Structure 1
Amino acid sequence: MAQAHTSTAPGGGSPPAFADATRDETSLRRFLHGLPGVDAVGVEQRAAGLATRSIKKASKLWAIDTAISMVDLTTLEGADTAGKVRSLCAKGRRPDPEVPGVPSVAAICVYPDMVATAVDQLAGSGIGVASVATAFPSGRSSLKVKLEDTAFAVEQGATEIDMVIDRGAFLSGRYGQVFDEIRQVKAACGDAHLKVILETGELATYDNARRASWLALLAGGDFIKTSTGKVSPAATLPVTHVMLQAVHDWHAATGELRGVKPAGGIRTTKDAVRYLVAVREVAGERWLDPRLFRFGASSLLNDLLMQRRTQLSGHYSGPDYVTVD
């Protein structure tokens, strides 16, 4: 798992390098606005350049299997049923039952009321049970409700919590409020890992994405996540570059490993490979691990399985050969 770390409450467990940054609202604002600005043209050019890289055929199967092992297989619809969650769990355990050697996914991600079903179906599998919380996807509720939402999911057996930040508070410059909410949700998680959803499509600028990334890291997030998947644009390569750079720089300053999860709009094997190249080149090879990088996806797994069969057989296997969600 990602390296454990203590709460970043002001005056408490902040890494020494950043203790001053979280002392009070003024210090937090000064730190976040003191971060180097993002060169928008530069990050977009680098993302586009890395996206053109090809990988050798011998490495293609490794990349596909690595991507499969990083998938948070997700269903977050109002019409979700226990039966749908059970089917998703079965697919997560054995993504392609007819083909040996296919890794299981990293986690199944569901709403809090579906956690118990997922926990029952995944017992003994080693697959995580992730749950969205904190008034997902809007984040518009009281802190009391958000903490109760988190506590309920954890009580039901969730091993990972995906929370959403209050984008309105962040964009209004109320950084201390956002920091405190993340910190308190982290405490409510207990042993569960916390993924902090920034909803970068609503943050509008790369500078805001960088500030939100650092704010989430300072407050104790184990992962920073691009999106809920409910807002467009969702994950993009350039904004994921910004977030990967943040966890790389965090590790350099503190020695702590934190993860990144792009979510929404990643549908093809080609997309996944582009993200894996970015992980290696921006954060580093040690992040090519489901403990530190995830894909939030529902349809991506199907394409990965079809392309995997193609690699093994030498001819294209269409969607008729894998279960389609």
Structure 2
Amino acid sequence: MTMPTDAASPDAVTEARTGDPTGRPTSDAALRRLLHGLPGVDAVGLEARAATLGTRSIKTTAKAYALDLAISMIDLTTLEGADTPGKVRALCAKGAAPDPTDRTAPRVAAICVYPDMVATAKQALADAGAPGIHVASVATAFPAGRAALDVKLADTRAAVAAGADEIDMVIDRGAFLAGRYLQVYEEIQQVKAECGTAHLKVIFENGELATYDNIRRASWLAMLAGADFIKTSTGKVAVNATPPGTLLMLEAVRDFRAATGRQVGVKPAGGIRTAKDAVKYLVMVNETLGEDWLSPDWFRFGASSLLGDLLMQRQKLATGRYSGPDYVTVD
């Protein structure tokens, strides 16, 4: 089945970004013309394509590769009001040595925490001899995103100053749904400016955007504003990452690169708990984007419990049996 492209023409992208010498759009109208000019999403076709990709099976050697790749793509996450320095240090130790009995197990991509825990995570990773693991931090009044812009920017500055390598920001869904696209665009740009060398992941909260058309529009809006990654969700609402929503975002980054030459990463987050689910997402990435995106640099899983099942399946593949219930920690 061939899905209809959502590619905007280079001329349409240029139009949305013209209006002043910096190339920033100057009106909601310019962005609306681009975003509402994208082809409507064929929901039936999208869901059928996602379901078909979910049935693909992979053999033993490929499965072993996929399990290790998935581990290396995890943003191991704790985002709870009860987070303590001890919990964050334990999470960092787990990310640095996911399987203490098997040093061939890869490390995770990042540890994701609230801004006030960034310094703790950085020090814990340094103590564990794992400086290559990034520290990601949610900012901009996560998870609701309902705060004044100066508060969001201060939140971002604090996380970066504490050593965050990546910032996960949430868009103002109320502004987006009301059609105030320029406001959302400018907030992303200003947060991006505060990131410095840190990468910016922009969270849509797909479950609140409600329609596939809105997910497609949010994807293009965030990428035009400078997002390094686009992310499905916070993990704090009823509907988080789904295969159709993620597939739609994968198609958006593919077509954005075709239109602009810039590559953007994708991060599904929330609800991905099993190795089987993770492998389905990797198949989706490979079939939609190819090997260019099969790297932690361009694809991540936002997860807290996924790692345990990946380790269990990895051990089963190596030994032919599952270990006892204490083989992995339960988060």
TM-score calculated relative to the size of structure 2: 0.92
| Residue 110 of structure 1, aligned match among 104, 108, 113 | 113
Partners of 1:283 and 1:214 in 2: CA distance: 17
Q: Is the CA contact (8 Å cut-off) linking 1:226 and 1:234 kept in structure 2? A: yes
Q: 5 Å matches for 1:1-325?
A: 18-22=13-17, 23-25=25-27, 26-123=29-126, 125=130, 126-325=132-331
Could you tell me how far 1:19 is from its partner in structure 2? 2.9
Q: Deviations over 1:92-143 (max 9, x none)?
A: 0000010131000000000000000001111252000000000000000000
| C-alpha distance in structure 2 between counterparts of 1:69 and 1:236, whole Å | 21
Q: Is contact 1:109-1:132 (8 Å) kept?
A: yes
Once residues 218 and 284 of structure 1 are traced to their aligned partners in structure 2, the CA distance between those partners, rounded to angstroms, is: 22
Residue 190 of structure 2 aligns to a residue whose secondary structure is helix
Runs of at least 5 residues in structure 2 that lack an aligned partner in the other structure: 1-9, 18-24
Say whether the 8 Å CA contact 2:192–2:227 is kept in structure 1: yes
Contact residue 75 and residue 110 of structure 2 kept, 8 A = yes
Count of aligned pairs between the two proteins:
311
CA 1:144–1:260 in structure 2 vs 1: closer, same or farther (change >3 Å)? same
Q: Distance in 2 between matches of 1:278 and 1:135?
A: 31
Helix, strand or coil for the counterpart of 2:322? coil
Letter aligned with residue 168 of structure 2: D
| CA–CA separation in structure 2 for the residues paired with 1:17 and 1:289 | 30
Whichever residue aligns with residue 150 of structure 1, its letter is: T
Q: Which 4+ stretches in 1 moved above 6 angstroms? A: none
| Residues 41, 213 of structure 2: 8 Å contact kept | yes
Q: Partner letter of residue 233 of structure 1?
A: V
Distance 1:69 1:154 in 2: 23
Once the two structures are TM-superposed, the CA of residue 20 in structure 1 deviates from its matched residue by: 1.6
Q: TM-score, normalised by structure 1?
A: 0.94
Q: Match of 2:49, as an amino acid?
A: R
Q: How far is the alpha carbon of 1:203 from its aligned partner? A: 0.3
- The residue type paired with residue 114 of structure 1 is M
Q: Which amino acid aligns with 1:41?
A: V
1:69–1:100 distance in 2 versus 1, CA, 3 Å: same
**8 Å Cα contact 2:13/2:34 also seen in 1:** no
CA RMSD of aligned residues (A): 1.1
In structure 2, the partner of 1:10 is none
